[in-house]
Amino acid sequence: MVADLARRWSLEVGRPFQPGDVASWVAPARNRADELVVLKVAWLHDEARHEADGLRAWHGQGSVRLLHAVVFDDTAALLLEACQPGTSLSRALPPLDQDEVVAGLLRRLWIQPPPRHRFRPLQDMCDWWVDEYDEKAAAQGTRLDPGLARAGVEPVPGPAGHRRQRRVALHRPAPRQRPGG
């Protein structure tokens, strides 16, 4: 597949970034104009289904720019503006400073989705994570305090005990490990 994508987008693909990810293969490449780009080939899992749509909507504001995207069955290929992996935020800054960086990035990423978008609402994703946590905890147990774990996955009630009605779209890459996983 990588060779086909390299031909399709006229790329010279380098060695994949290390350490690798569990749901994608990512490597630096050079395009026909000798510009550094990044090729990402990913399993099209539920959490990354609209990654290309999200990157298109952000137009490089707080994220890398999407140059091209294509989907083959259960695989997505993205050609991205170059972004070299560096030091993880958790190693670069103390926790409170990390929070400030993430909050600033979230302000840049918080946009009105385009008309007729296909993004899944944040509440749907949160419901899915809660269900997944409940299934894993029931099957495997958990080392977390049961009261704390339950409080962490409880839905946020709104007026009259209903969930809040404001809908928020979410895109995030696949995690290496989920809490409670």
pLDDT digits (tens, 9 = 90+) for 8-46: 999 999 999 887 778 899 999 999 999 999 999 998 887
* pLDDT at residue 169 in the model: 52
- Give the model confidence (pLDDT) of 113-151 as tens digits: 888 888 888 788 888 888 888 888 888 887 778 788 777
Q: CA–CA separation, 139 vs 122, rounded Å?
A: 26
Q: Output the pTM of the full model.
A: 0.70
Could you give all domains of the chain from N- to C-terminal order, each with its CATH number? 2-81 (3.30.200.20), 120-181 (no CATH)
Identify the three-state secondary structure at position 134: helix
Integer-rounded Cα radius of gyration of the chain: 19
Count CB neighbours of 39 within 10 A: 23
Q: End-to-end distance of the chain based on CA atoms, in angstroms? A: 31
